[in-house]
Amino acid sequence: MSAFTRAGLQLRDAVPAYGYGLIYAVRTARAWWYSAWLRSLARFSRTFFGSFWLGLSNLLSVALLGAVYGAVFRVPNPWDYVIYLGLGLTIWGWISQAMIGGCLLFTSRRDQLVNNALPAIFYCLEEWAFQMQTFAQAFAIILIAFVFIKPLILLNSLTSLWFPLLNLSLFCFWATVAMGILGARFKDISQLMPILLQLMFLISPILYRREGLGAIGLLADFNPFYRVLAPVRTALMDGALNWHAELLTLALNLLMLIVVVMQLKRLRYRLPLWV
C-alpha cells in the first residue's frame, strides 16, 4: 500500500475535532489565539507602523473629542475629562465590536462551518481573541499616554484593574456567542444591532458624567454595557473597586457563559443550515 493511499485512508477515518466547553477552549488555545493573531497581522501587513495604527487612531480621536466636548460641557478639569472620555470610548469599542462582530460571526464563516469538522465554539474563541488583541493594542497606547497625565493610573492598573477587566472579557465573550447564534437565526439582527448600539451609546455616561443624567440616572444602572464599562474606568482613574458588585457581575457572567455554550452545543447541527 502506497504512502498516498495510507494518508488518504487516515484522512477518511480521522475523528472530527470534539469539544464544546472550557476543556476544549484550553486544549485548543494555541490554535485559536494564533489564528486570531494572524488576522491581526494581515490587517496591517503592508503598513509601516503595523498595528500601532490602532492605538494612534484611537489616541487622536480621544484628543480631538476631548478638546471639543470639554469646551462644550465646560468641564472644570480638562485633563481628567480627557482620561474619562478616552477610557470610556476605548472600552466601548471592544463592547460594540463584540456585539456587531458576533452578529456576522457564523454567517461570514459559512463555508468553514459546512466543510470543516471544527466545532462552532472554535470560531467564537477566535473572534473573541481577535477582538481582545485589537482592544489590547489600542488600550496599551492610550494607557501609556494617560500615565504621563496622571501617573497614579499606572499603580491602579497593577492593583485594581484585573477583576473588572476579567468581567469585561467574560461579558464580551458570551455576548459574541449570543449575538452569533441570534445573527445566524435572524438575519435582521445584524441590521438592528448598530442602531441599538448607537442609542445605547447616547444614553450611556461615556461622553458625559453619570450625574448629567439627573433623574433618569436609572438608565445607566440598568444598562448592561455601562455596568461592565464603568468599573474598569473607575478602577483605573480612582483605584476604587466594589468587590460585592464585581462578584455579582462575575456570577452573572459565568451563568450566561454556561447558557450560551450549552445553546451552542445544542444548535451545532442547525447552525450550518441557518447560515
| Residue 14: per-residue pLDDT | 42
Residue 8 included in any domain: no
pLDDT tens for residues 160-207? Answer: 899 999 999 999 999 999 999 999 989 889 899 999 999 888 888 888
| Residue 63: per-residue pLDDT | 84
Q: Considering only CA atoms, which of 233, 234, 43, 205 is closest in space to residue 142? A: 233
pTM, whole model, 2 decimals?
0.87
pLDDT tens for residues 144-162? Answer: 889 998 899 989 888 889 9
Residue 270 included in any domain: yes
Give the mean pLDDT of 264-270. Answer: 85
220 pLDDT above the threshold of 80: no
Q: Which domain holds residue 40?
A: 18-274
Domain count, the chain: 1
Residue 1 included in any domain: no
pLDDT tens for residues 101-130? Answer: 999 899 888 888 888 778 888 999 999 999
The residues, any chain, with a CB within 8 Å of residue 259's CB and separated by 6 or more, are 174
Q: Considering only CA atoms, which of 159, 171, 141, 168 is closest in space to residue 230? A: 168
| pLDDT category of residue 131 using cuts at 50, 70 and 90 | very high
| Residue 17: per-residue pLDDT | 47
Residue 9 included in any domain: no
Residue 4 included in any domain: no
pLDDT tens for residues 222-249? Answer: 888 988 999 999 999 988 888 999 999 9
Residue 112 included in any domain: yes
Give the mean pLDDT of 73-84. Answer: 86
Give the mean pLDDT of 248-271. Answer: 90
Q: What is the 3-state secondary structure (H, E, C) of the chain?
A: CCHHHHHHHHHHCCCCCCCCCHHHHHHCHHHHHHHHHHHHHHHCCCCCCCCHHHHHHHHHHHHHHHHHHHHHHCCCCHHHHHHHHHHHHHHHHHHHHHHHHHHCCCCCCHHHHHHCCCCHHHHHHHHHHHHHHHHHHHHHHHHHHHHHHCCHHHHHHHHCCHHHHHHHHHHHHHHHHHHHHHHHHCCCHHHHHHHHHHHHHHCCCCCCCHHHHHHHCHHHHCCHHHHHHHHHHHHHHHCCCCHHHHHHHHHHHHHHHHHHHHHHHHCCCCHHHHC
Tell how far CA 167 is from the center of its chain: 11
CB of 207 closer than 8 Å to CB of 69: yes
CB of 89 closer than 8 Å to CB of 61: yes
Residue 241 included in any domain: yes
Tally Cβ neighbours within 10 Å of residue 250. 15
- Overall residue count recorded for the chain in this entry: 275
pLDDT tens for residues 16-56? Answer: 445 566 778 888 888 899 989 888 888 777 777 666 777 77
Residue 3 included in any domain: no
Tally Cβ neighbours within 10 Å of residue 82. 22
pLDDT tens for residues 45-58? Answer: 777 766 677 777 88
| Residue 4: per-residue pLDDT | 43
